[in-house]
Chain A
Amino acid sequence: MLSERATTLQTTNLWLIALGAAVALLVVLVATGTITISQRYISQMMIGVSVAAILVIAAVGLAIIFGVAGVINMAHGQFIMVGAYTAAVVGQLGGNTFVAIPVAFAVVALLGLIVERGIIQWIYDRPLETLLATWGVGIILEVLVKVIFGPELYYVGAPRMLDGGIRLIGRLPYPYYRLFLIGMAILMLAVTFYLVFKTNFGLKVRAVRRNRAMAGSLGINTARIDMLIFMFGSGLAGVAGAVLAPIKSVSTTMGFSYAVDSYMVIVLGGVGNLLGVPTGAFIIGEAETLIATGTNSVIGKLLVFVFIVVAIRIVPRGIFGYQERR
């Protein structure tokens, strides 16, 4: 077991080193003029970064719930959708995205609490049932929201101060809202990292994650940790809904595509390490955007799917993944 862990560690480092070396090589080649990248590709790469940011925002809540509590929340997309509707309501009451963020966090965290206490807490050790149960929760949420808000689309505007954009390269402006999304992705990751690695609560979380029975024997209320993590991850899904609402219309079915993207991110990145989320998101975001530049977005998405299938063959547990649970 020990050697297995050591190997995982080395593999992780190897990946990081390889990735770092590849990026460094690319930078050197571009800087020395050995290869030239057209402006079009550079601006597409910038857009890729913001796509990655959207992926991070959507996936981080799912990743922490999966990583700690071991639950694949099939209702994750609908949690994002509820966050977006919360933002729409806040918008109609006169608040903007900055107001909507904490409100959506609170609303969806509360929703997560209800789902966890009402259903999940009884079936943590039965993965298939948690899948089916959370899927059911997702369907119920879609129907409920449709009953309350009706079938029409809602539009949430970006805050006025984030209107417009800056001209970085070429003629197309880079919207401020995309910069804001990149900032939000970094902020959400930073908060999650801080919570998990720098607080007493996080220390207990890491103990529960690695050895549930022993953590309980050491006096940690593991059920409470699961509950709080479920709430926190749900809250992050709510925040995702609030900040993603302005980039698309808000509808009851909007969650699906975000959920699919989130699952791809954590499958590629792996859930053993929180670094898997930004890594997976960056690779998918850039690949999708760059392939789409040469072809179109449908082929881009398709090739990314193919790439992930191949990647799973090579690193079955994701780039940073390892298997350890119960």
Chain B
Amino acid sequence: MLTVSGINTFYGTSHILHDVSLQIGDGELIAVLGLNGAGKTTLLRSIMGVNPPRSGRIELLGTDITRMKSHDRNHLGISYVPQGRQIIPDLTVADNIRVALLGKGMNGSQVPGSVFEYFPALKDITERKGGVLSGGQQQQLAIARALVQKPKLLLLDEPTEGLQPSVVEEIQEIIKRIQAERTCSVLLIEQRLDFVGDITQRFAILDTGRIVRQGSISELTDEVIRTHLQV
């Protein structure tokens, strides 16, 4: 599905990602772990093209997308749920979803009912402005907006960050469902190790911009956690 080979990404002059390589198979979910500032978000932004890498290569289904603009990557099948959710605040819930449909070149005349199957909570608030939603509602909307595009690869940046426990569970259920139905491949950034253990077989750890470990979840030992994931 996705092959990232030796990418180097910069913010201005500061070198954030160093020779990062990563692979995701069809329908697979991989969790990217790491402390704050390790470069997790930058990795997703590099894949999405928001911060393209300066060197290295990113391939999606055999197509070189390294130099592509974000919208072309999206059209090839990558959908993105960014940190902070990035809902368009002055558009309604329905319009936020319609923007995603139109952006992908799909029929955006109305919101397909299937959205509310995954996200029943959104059904009653379709005419509410995105900016006034609660964090949990915004997160559901952000995921709904991505899934409605029928992506091949879904990038999820800390979808449960800053949410209350009951909402965290709801979001986790949705991710489990995506994974169980093998709707698409998922690259998930997550801090909650218990949840990661629940949902995936594979992980990768970023530490100061380098992939220091990757492997199956059984290799995520206490020692690895102590070395790379604790301050």
Contacts and interface: CB of A to CB of B under 8 A. Distances in A.
Given A206-B88, A206-B91, A214-B86, A221 B69 contact: yes
A218 interface: yes
Contact of A222 (B71, B79, B89, B145): B71
Contacts of A220: 71, 99, 102-103
B42 interface: no
B165 interface: no
A303 to B, nearest CB: 35
Contact of A213 (B70, B79, B131): B70
B149 interface: yes
Given A203-B108, A204-B102, A221-B71, A214 B49 contact: no
A210 B49 CA distance: 19
Contacts of A167: none
Contacts of A216: 49-50, 69-71, 74
B88 A210 contact: yes
A211 B130 CA distance: 13
A160 interface: no
Nearest to A218: B103
Interface string B80-121: 101000101111000100111011110010000000000000
B103 A206 contact: no
A203 B98 contact: yes
Given A219-B103, A221-B69, A206 B90 contact: yes
Nearest to B131: A5
A2 B131 contact: yes
A217 B102 contact: no
Interface of B: 48-50, 69-71, 74-75, 79-80, 82, 86, 88-91, 95, 98-100, 102-105, 108, 131-132, 145, 149
Interface of A: 2, 5-6, 200, 203-204, 206-207, 210-211, 213-223
